[in-house]
Amino acid sequence: MASKLKENLIAFIIAIFLTWWVILAINSSSNLATDILGTKNTAKITSDLSLVYKDKSLEVVSNKNIPNVLNLTLELSFNKDKVQIKREDIDSSYSISSSDNGWNYTIILQNIWELKKWSILFKINNITKEQFDNINLWHIQVIDNNWKILDLTSSK
């Protein structure tokens, strides 16, 4: 009887040891690590522009210094039943023109010259969190001062 108890105790200790070894091995593996909830660390952002929700507004922010920019065109896509964007709700320090093409809203910023890192390109006021969740940057294009066309990346 004592021999059986001793074997069970040894098996139990080995099982606990193996369990902890597996847990530590998995947690130390960078191949299995992920950030499910998203990062708040702005150093990890690799996109050129970001859509940010702040104080009941949507902001488009530059994540990098981008020199030599003549104009920037971007299209916001969204469900018209859930989101309504009005021209008077858009603020920018750049010359701006916009058009509503049904399910897309096109915004053109002109005479930019240079995008500074962390600068706000424009802001759309009166946007709820639910509306923000339904808006995506569909296409972003920059024309530089040499008339070259560059496509930019975005994050939300």
Tens digits of residue pLDDT in 88-143: 899 998 888 888 887 788 899 988 888 899 999 999 999 999 989 888 887 788 88
Q: Please enumerate, as own/partner, the contacts of 19-26 that have beta carbons within 8 Å and a separation of 24 or more.
A: none
155 three-class SS = strand
**Residues 123, 85: contact at Cβ < 8 Å?**
no
Structure tokens that stand for 66 in this block:
């981008």
Task: Give the pLDDT score at 29.
Answer: 40
pLDDT digits (tens, 9 = 90+) for 49-70: 888 899 899 999 888 888 888 8
pLDDT band at 42 (very low <50, low <70, confident <90, very high): very low
Q: Which CATH architecture has domain 47-155?
A: Sandwich (2.60)
Q: Any idea which residue has 């994540």 for tokens?
A: 63
Dihedral pair phi/psi, residue 130, rounded to 5°: -65, -40
Q: What residues does each domain of the chain span?
A: 1-31, 47-155
Residues comprising the chain, all counted: 156
